Every structure is written in structure tokens, then in C-alpha cells.
Amino acid sequence: MNCCCVLSWFSINNRTYVSGAKIPREIQIIKNANIVIENDRTLVPLRLISETLGAKVDWDGNARKVTISDGTNKIELVIGNNQPTLNGKVIPIDVAPKIFNDYTYVPLRFIAESLNCKVDWFDGNAMEQSDGSGVPMAHYVLRIPQVMVSRYPSGAVALTAAEAVKKLQDQLIIAYETQYNTKYQPVATKPANGSDDSNWEYTIASLSVSSITSNNDRFYFVYVDRDFMVDKYTGTVLWFYNGQVQKIFKFNPNSQYPLIWAG
């Protein structure tokens, strides 16, 4: 098997509803998802993508065949065979499913698109420009290769840019009041030599749609001393920790020192 494993963030924007509401569930972001690249094709562990998307996976050891069922769609793949079927129709693919480190690996794009998903790849090399250009839509954080798989309910409605900024502002105001134990008062003019709290009052007050540095089909990105990510569908605020171990966290404005971060 001629392949190489890449350090990658793999995200699945799920189609399923939350408590009956027409919004997608919280996003699944998986670091180091053991993605494999072979002949310029991306392969992923079968159950990682199928079960995260809510599909049923069956394995026939004798036939070495995998069956994936999702609603009205039925996908059948045989290990080593590049002629899988989708609802009984043969769909030739470039790279056949295979066993790697005791896991079944399948071509990502074929599986995802057969499950009505959109697939994007970001190689981590492009650098964002000051005008927001230069980076493909499918990225979470710069400098890291990543794959994004998206599938949404037909009734899902994304937040506007203004609504997303307001979500972040509200979270930062709570964080400010938690950290400084005082009521937030917006400051319109940047302090010349202000204290940390007055600087934060100005920073929070000055947030606007123009503060958004980029976006993809799931997140708006806003840099406020750190890279913040506002989920377009749930309103959840995340932030990217660019330390020795890079991580994405859900922002907690009620933590002890929410506006102080190590690294």
C-alpha cells in the first residue's frame, strides 16, 4: 500500500436535528483522524465517517464486503475491489477499499458524496491575506491540513454575519464581567495607555462584521487576540489554541480567567 498518513483535522458537519429543531447538531471535529492519502485520493476509516453521519455499517467477513445503509441509500463495497455499488448501480472508483492497521479504509469522496455530503480539502499551505482572500473556504485554522465533510437539513438557516458577531460579543462580555468582577461598560475610543480591562472594553465594543476574517460553510472566524470560531447554525463559540499541542475548545466565559490564555 503506497500511502502516507497526514496530520489532519477532520470535521463532519452533521445533518441531524437537535431536539427536533431545524439546526444541525454540534460539529464533530476530530484531530489526527488517521486519514490516509493514496495516489492523491483521501481514504478514511469507514466507521469514522459513516457512523458519525448516522449511517448503519454491516461487515460480511466471508465476502469481505461492507454495506452502508443511510435512509434510502445503500452502498456496498468489497475490500480490494474498485467497483462498489450505490443502490445497485456500479460506480467505478480510483482507489479500492482496503484494510490498514486492522481498520477498513474507504475513499472519502465516494462515501461522502454517496451520503449526500459536500467534501472539501484544505492543504494548510495557503496564507490568508489582509483582505480576507487567499484561503479556500474549507478551513478551520491556518497551517494545518484538514478535511471538511458537510451535510445539513433542508430547513437549516445560518446566522448572518452580524448575528454571529453579536453572539461572540455577548460571550466576551460575560467573560469580561467574570474575570474583572465588574459591569462591562463599552469604550468607544481606544485607550492610549489603558489597563487590561479598559482595553478589553474597547476591543469588545469595536467588534463588527468587518472583524470577521474569513468563513466557511459552518463557521465565521473572528480574531480577538485569539482565533474565535462562531458556529453558523448553533451559535456556539469556539477558540483555537495554537500552543505546542494545537486544539479547538468550546469557549467558556464563566471559567476562572476566561480572557487569559497560556501559550
pLDDT per residue as tens digits for the range 131-160: 445 444 445 555 666 777 777 777 788 899
Q: Are residues 46 and 102 in the same domain?
A: yes
Q: Give me the pLDDT at residue 263, please.
A: 55
Confidence of residue 65 (pLDDT cuts 50, 70, 90): very high
Q: What is the 3-state secondary structure (H, E, C) of the chain?
A: CCCEECCCEEEEECCCEECCEEEECCCEEEECCCCEEECCEEEEEHHHHHHHCCCEEEEECCCCEEEEEECCEEEEEECCCCCCEECCEECCCCCCCEEECCEEEEEHHHHHHHCCCEEEEECCCCCCCCCCCCCCCCCCCCCCCEEEEECCCCCCCCCCHHHHHHHHHHHHHHHHHHHHCCCCCCCCCCCCCCCHHHHHHHHHHCCCHHHEEEECCCEEEEECCCEEEEECCCCCEEEEECCCCCEEEECCCCCCCCCCCCC
Would the pLDDT of 130 be above 90? no
Provide the domain limits for residue 64: 4-150
pLDDT at position 29, please? Answer: 57
Q: What digits encode the pLDDT tens for the residues 209-253?
A: 999 988 877 888 898 988 898 988 889 898 877 666 667 778 999
Query: In terms of pLDDT, which residue wins out, 129 or 85?
Result: 85
Among residues 150, 177, 197, which one ends one of the domains?
150
Q: What is the mean pLDDT of the chain?
A: 78
Q: What is the reported pLDDT for 127?
A: 53
Residue 164's pLDDT is what?
Answer: 97
Residue owning grid cell 468587518: 210
Per-residue pLDDT, averaged over 62-81, amounts to: 93
Same domain, 81 and 32: yes
pLDDT for residue 191: 85
How far is the C-alpha of 32 from the C-alpha of 43, rounded, in Å?
13
Q: Are strands 41-45 and 36-38 parallel, antiparallel or unpaired?
A: antiparallel
Indicate if 32 and 75 belong to the same structural domain.
yes
Q: Please determine, for residue 195, whether its predicted confidence score (pLDDT) is greater than 90.
A: no
Q: Which of 16-20, 162-166, 198-202, 213-217 has the lowest mean pLDDT?
A: 16-20
What percentage of residues in the chain have a pLDDT greater than 70? 75
Same domain, residue pair 95 and 172: no
Quick one: pLDDT at residue 201? Answer: 95
Residue 109: which CATH number?
3.30.457.10
Higher pLDDT, 43 or 92: 92
Which has more pLDDT, 239 or 11?
Answer: 239
Residue 20: is its pLDDT beyond 70? no
Tally of domains in the chain: 2
Domain final residue pick, 150, 178, 211? 150
> Is pLDDT at 121 greater than 80 in this prediction?
no
Burial 128-153 (b: 16+ CB within 10 A, else e): eeeeeeebeebbbbbebbbbbbbbbe
Half-sphere exposure of 149 (CA within 13 A, CB side): 28
Of residues 5 and 82, more confidence is placed in 82
Residues 93-111 have a mean pLDDT of: 88
Closest by CA to 144, choosing from 9, 10, 238, is 9
Same domain, 134 and 246: no
Same domain for 140 and 166, yes or no, is: no
Please, what's the b/e burial string for 183-197 (b: 16 or more CB within 10 A of its CB; e: otherwise)? ebeebeeeeeeeeeb
CA–CA distance, 175 with 172 (Å, rounded to integer): 5
On whether both 9 and 121 belong to a single domain, the answer is yes
Q: Which of 120, 150, 180 is the last residue of a domain?
A: 150
pLDDT at 126: 56
